[in-house]
Amino acid sequence: MPAVHVELKYKNTEPEVCPATAVIYADSLSNRGGTGIYVKRLLEGFSRCNAHVAAAVGGKLMTPAEALSYQMFAGNIRKVINENTILPFAAASISPSIVHLPAFSGRTPQGFPCAVTLHDLAFCRNPSWFPLLRSIYYRLHFRKVARKADVVMVDSESTGIEARELLGIDDSRIRRVYLSTDSFTADPSAFREKFSLQEERYIVFSGTIEPRKNISALLDSWETVNRTHTDLHLVIAGRWGWGPLELRRKLQDTKGIILTGSLSENMLKSCISGAELLVYPSLYEGFGLPPLEAASAGIPSVLTPASALKEIYSGVSIIAEGFDPDSIARSILHSLDIEHDAEVLMDFASGFSIERMTEEVLKVYEEFRI
């Protein structure tokens, strides 16, 4: 196949051949989970600092700003085709110093360095947390990509340790780059109005509902919490991913629980800003974004003792003794009974800015610039 001539349009200029020193595959913008959020914030960072990075979206190369406003995101099948056939040729045509796979998917052009971001190793820790075919794909594909990568960015030291232990990645190829958030402070009235909460008190879980989020334990703990705080609601803010249908029915039928489904970014900010606290009972995380987003709005969190959660949030959150309902309930009740300093939480979150994450990723890219 002949080389693909790529032109990118920059603000206030005529189209010109891309001066990028890096290419990031960005079709994961369409992902509603943490990977999509990571890519979005990284592109926002690149755009803010005018970084020489091209974003590959929908089989095309464009500026980060253009990628963020691009509406025709590829479906799963087309995304796989784009990332494994079209984009390698497009990326090679501008001779990048490095090609970044932020979701561990895709194929890089031969002869160019490859960076991948490994968000967690849940697929190795407990394959049963995933649907069978997805579990098999993750275990086979991720190992293959990891072996070929020149550098692997991980979301936490905990994930870095697992990358060494479970994938055999050498220390020299691992770079820890913590995730980021903008401020989640917002007017709670939009969420309260939409879900008829008026002045009612509520606590919130934010995230995709899937087995490793330990929602069944949260529901069992809720029975204890609600007996003490009868006027309190539990908001489950997130889309249904996969898991037992019995759990879904219980979420819909349990008194005091509000199941929102997927929320827009603005509505999620409104939701979190009005909560008394965020509960994140996950069995395993590579980083855990919702507690950081809550902290940026001055909202405290109750967490389980997953190693990445302890690594990042021990100083500003209440960590339950275990993953069981009793431990979670005791921590929620304790958190509801004490004062929390919103300024301390927001100051903590400010250390995980988009600018800081972008700068660290660009430093990784710079290692490969000639």
Two structure tokens written together for 27: 């079709």
Two structure tokens written together for 50: 């005018």
CA distance 115 to 365: 8
CA distance 36 to 102: 9
Q: Give SS3 for 307.
A: helix
Check if 7-180+353-366 and 189-350 are the same fold.
yes
Two structure tokens written together for 327: 């431990």
CA distance 172 to 289: 26
- At 156 the pLDDT is 98
- At 85 the pLDDT is 78
Q: 111: which residues sit within 8 A by CB, 6+ positions away?
A: 92
Q: CATH classification of 7-180+353-366, choosing from 3.40.640.10, 3.40.50.2000, 3.30.465.10, 3.40.190.10? A: 3.40.50.2000
Which portions of the chain are predicted below pLDDT 50?
Answer: 1-18
Q: CATH classification of 189-350, choosing from 3.40.50.2000, 3.40.50.150, 3.30.310.10, 3.30.1010.10? A: 3.40.50.2000
What torsion do the CA atoms of 39, 44, 50, 56 make, to the nearest 10 degrees? 40
> What residue type is assigned to position 92 of the chain?
A
- At 135 the pLDDT is 76
The answer to whether 24 and 110 have CB atoms below 8 angstroms apart is no
- At 74 the pLDDT is 54
- At 362 the pLDDT is 97
Predicted model pTM = 0.91
Q: 221: which residues sit within 8 A by CB, 6+ positions away?
A: 281, 325, 326, 328, 329, 332
Domain ranges of the chain: 7-180+353-366, 189-350
- At 109 the pLDDT is 85
- At 20 the pLDDT is 62
Q: Is 326 left (phi over 0), alpha (psi -120 to 50) or beta?
A: alpha
- At 266 the pLDDT is 97
Two structure tokens written together for 226: 């609600």
